[in-house]
Amino acid sequence: MNSVLLLTILSLSILGLVAALILYVFAQKFKVYEDPRIDDIEEALPSANCGGCGFPGCRNFAEACVKADSLDDLFCPVGGNEVMANVANILGKEAVEGKPQVAVIRCSGSFEHRPRTNNYDGAQNCTVIHNLYTGDTDCPYGCLGQGECVDACEFDAMYMDEKTGLPVIIDENCVACGACVEACPRDIIELRKRNKKDRKIFVSCINEDKGGVAKKYCSVACIGCSLCYKACAYDAITMQNNLAFIDSDKCVLCRKCVEVCPTDAIHELNFPPRRVKTGEASKKDASSAKPLKKESTVKDQQTDSPEAPKEEDAKKNIEEVSTKKTDKN
Amino acid sequence: MLKTFPMGGVHPPENKFSAGNKIIKADLPETVNIPLSQHLGVPAEAIVNRGDEVKTGQLIGSSKGFVSSNIHSSVTGKVIKIDKSLDSSGYKKASVSIQVSGDEWLPEIDRSSDLKKEIGISGEEIIKKILEAGIVGMGGATFPSHVKMSLPKGKTAEIVILNGVECEPYLTSDHRLMLEKGEEILIGLRIIMKALGVNRGMVGIENNKKDAIQHFTNLAKQYPEIEVFPLKVKYPQGGEKQLIKALTGREVPSGGLPIDVGVVVHNVGTSFAVYEAIQKNKPLIERVVTVTGKGVSSPSNLLARIGTPVSQLIEAAGGIPENTGKIVNGGPMMGKALNSTDVPVMKGTSGILLIPGEESKREQSSTCIRCTKCVNVCPMGLEPYLLMTLSEKEKFERLENEKVMDCIECGSCSFVCPSNRPLLDYIRLAKFRVGNIIRNRK
């Protein structure tokens, strides 16, 4: 009896040892060397796996960082300069200061400004509509309002405004990963330089039709009048295909262009309310103030007041988003 | 037993109200708006300028590249605008607007109705003339016909099939054309056969057009190389691949073309256009358009010049009925709703369908109940419910493996779905995205 037990234990132990030996030999022979820094870098990255850096995930980005000679072309938009400094530290390389960016929606054709000319009742998907026709308005460039960008956003930085039918970006949450830019079939969303206090000036339109045509289907379209181009003293504005474009690198946020735009196609966001210079100017302001602009000034005041209400605002937005998501389910 | 394709298919209500109404010439409009992209492939380039006087049949847009087509003026008048304007694609595209002042045809066009049977020119000249005349597939896909006739190297055609199926409900333009221009269509077929060096022709006609079958069978007696086949009524028999399978039993391989099995298919409308181009020197400047619908007071088949506003054709058929909910360019199965009636008639406009309000709305869609009706009706043997789910979940690699690119977009799946799921919408989306991925790979 005893010998049977002994034999079993002995044979199994020998078998185990042999197996361990084989495993060890093979593990040594086929060992793939992996830079331990890859793990360190991955640890330092935000693990969002959003693809904003241009790589499929954080691990791939970490591998690319280790392989690359310099970090010039590599930037994690989610982590920003802080994370990139850490990464550079691990690798002993120079980190390049990346410019933080933020997404902007270049369409302001809300229900009010852009009349609906027909009804669409097919699949609720922007790309489907885009491949079919101009959408339920006549504008072939504008937002289709089905929220594919919002679905693509993984950072709760967007929500659909039901009043306007347009997506809205929550600046605090936007990490400029570019998922929404990719998702939009009409290339309406653009990543622009993030300015101090999230101040933004941009042409909120990508319509390349002639002025008269554009004006017909949207009251806030860029009509290509070049007034802003002439008003800009910093060469920041270029005109192409009946459309103005403001280069965010050159723009100094002087807001001259906003003043001259006859259709309110240029938006200023998160600025303090303008100082009233003369009676005439205020009169003009009051008469030309359209609802959209009013809204932005209301927002401006909020952002300019102490931090607390701003946070509250953002929270409210997030809540809205989450309730919307649950509604969908 | 009547021939038909073996897999899938549906039988929607036919509603061919205008089948008994003769083709009427539509009035000349005040202005025509001729898009420069009425075909698949590269848009034509305008060769006239604003202010130019043009005559009927004059070339105004020349083809750019091999897969492209010429565009001719359909009226006599003055070019008033060369600009982007809305066409039936739903987008603004480059087009030439002409203010009509009369109807003076180019002198070389033979406008008599004499039948010319002898084909005097060689195959190569035929293809060249078809290219010059701007002929494209008139069934709706508008693929340039000369491309179909120029065989790729190493391929030989054995059979030319004429597609007189017209399986779309409501539409009767091909049916009327077959009844009224039967002789010409058969000569057109013989011209196409000569161009391709083929000595076997087949005409497939669905059995709901008994008069056309009778007429063609009688006419074909004089041409021993041409056979006429009645086909069982089933949608989408007019699909190229389905028609080939039904008539010859050959199956076009996945991702392949009909020429891979030695077959070339042309629509009867195309055949008629080929006859006119070769025998009468007439470019493609007019086509038969069915204007129909349940509330339409006089459903008609109108011979309209290319560029005529759709609104004018609807007026000619008795105007828009009060409760119209949707105006569709094409038939109810594959047609596309128009968002304006100011769009022009194009080379591929086979019909204008006015759908009453109550029928035009989509029902609320609900979850898939796995009834497999869509799988049973798919003429390509695909699994639409799966393709839609994969499309929603963006599983593009699996979509490619599931042969999403084989879908012919016939809409049978959406038609039968008891849950009213937008199957075709999402399959189209998948085709668009997977197609982009495949193109980028090259």
Is the Cβ pair A134, B422 closer than 8 Å? no
What pLDDT is recorded for position A276?
Answer: 66
Cβ pair B194, B130 in contact under 8 A: no
- The residue of chain A with its CA nearest to that of B365 is A123
What pLDDT is recorded for position A22?
Answer: 95
Per DSSP, the three-state class of B68 is strand
Tell whether B409 is within 8 A of chain A (Cβ). no
pLDDT tens-digit map of B330-378: 999 999 888 888 999 999 999 999 999 888 888 888 999 999 999 999 9
- Helix, strand and coil in chain B, % to nearest 5: 30, 25, 45
What pLDDT is recorded for position B205?
Answer: 95
What pLDDT is recorded for position A278?
Answer: 53
Is the Cβ pair B90, A134 closer than 8 Å? yes
Candidates B368, B386, B377, B367; CA nearest to B408 is B377
pTM for this structure? 0.82
Tell me how far apart the alpha carbons of residues A322 and B86 are, in angstroms, rounded to a whole number. Answer: 40
Is the Cβ pair A122, B426 closer than 8 Å? no
Chain B hits for A122, CB-CB cut-off 8 Å, are 362, 422, 425
pLDDT tens-digit map of B56-105: 999 999 998 889 999 999 999 999 999 888 888 888 889 999 999 988 99
Residues of chain B with pLDDT under 50: none
In chain A, ranges of CATH 1.10.15.40 domains? 36-91
Per DSSP, the three-state class of A12 is helix
How close, in Å, is residue B55 to chain A by CA atoms?
30
Tell whether A329 is within 8 A of chain B (Cβ). no
Tell whether A183 is within 8 A of chain B (Cβ). no
State the amino acid at position A292 in one-letter form. Answer: L
Tell me how far apart the alpha carbons of residues A42 and B374 are, in angstroms, rounded to a whole number. Answer: 46
Cβ pair B132, B276 in contact under 8 A: no
Q: Is beta strand B351-356 parallel, antiparallel or unpaired with respect to B286-293?
A: parallel
- Residue A83 CB partners (closer than 8 Å, separation 6+): A44, A45, A46, A76
Domains of chain B (ranges; CATH) run 1-25+123-361 (3.40.50.11540), 373-441 (no CATH)
What pLDDT is recorded for position B411?
Answer: 93
Cβ pair B47, B57 in contact under 8 A: no
Tell me how far apart the alpha carbons of residues A261 and A122 are, in angstroms, rounded to a whole number. Answer: 37
- Cis previous bond, B356, omega within 30: no
What pLDDT is recorded for position A70?
Answer: 82
How close, in Å, is residue B89 to chain A by CA atoms?
7
Which candidate from B92, B339, B361 shows the least CB-CB separation from A117? B339
Q: How many Cβ contacts (< 8 angstroms) between chains A and B?
A: 40
Is the Cβ pair A122, B432 closer than 8 Å? no
- In the block, which residue shows the tokens 């012919």? B408
Is the Cβ pair A122, B425 closer than 8 Å? yes
Q: Is beta strand B300-305 parallel, antiparallel or unpaired with respect to B263-267?
A: unpaired
Candidates A200, A209, A305, A208; CA nearest to A258 is A200
Q: Which helix (H) or strand (E) holds B60?
A: strand B59-62
Reported ipTM: 0.85
Tell whether B361 is within 8 A of chain A (Cβ). yes
Say what the alpha-carbon torsion angle B241, B247, B248, B250 is, to the nearest 10 degrees: 20
Is the Cβ pair B428, A128 closer than 8 Å? yes
Is the Cβ pair A140, B429 closer than 8 Å? no
Tell me how far apart the alpha carbons of residues B188 and B278 are, in angstroms, rounded to a whole number. Answer: 9
Q: What are the 10-residue block averages of pLDDT along chain A, 329 residues in total?
A: 89 96 93 87 88 87 87 83 87 80 91 87 88 86 91 91 91 89 92 87 90 88 91 90 90 89 89 67 43 42 41 46 41
Candidates B349, B197, B372; CA nearest to B288 is B349
Top CATH class of A36-91 equals mainly alpha
Cβ pair B36, B96 in contact under 8 A: yes
Is the Cβ pair B428, A209 closer than 8 Å? no
CB atoms within 10 A of CB A51: 17
Cβ pair B84, B95 in contact under 8 A: yes
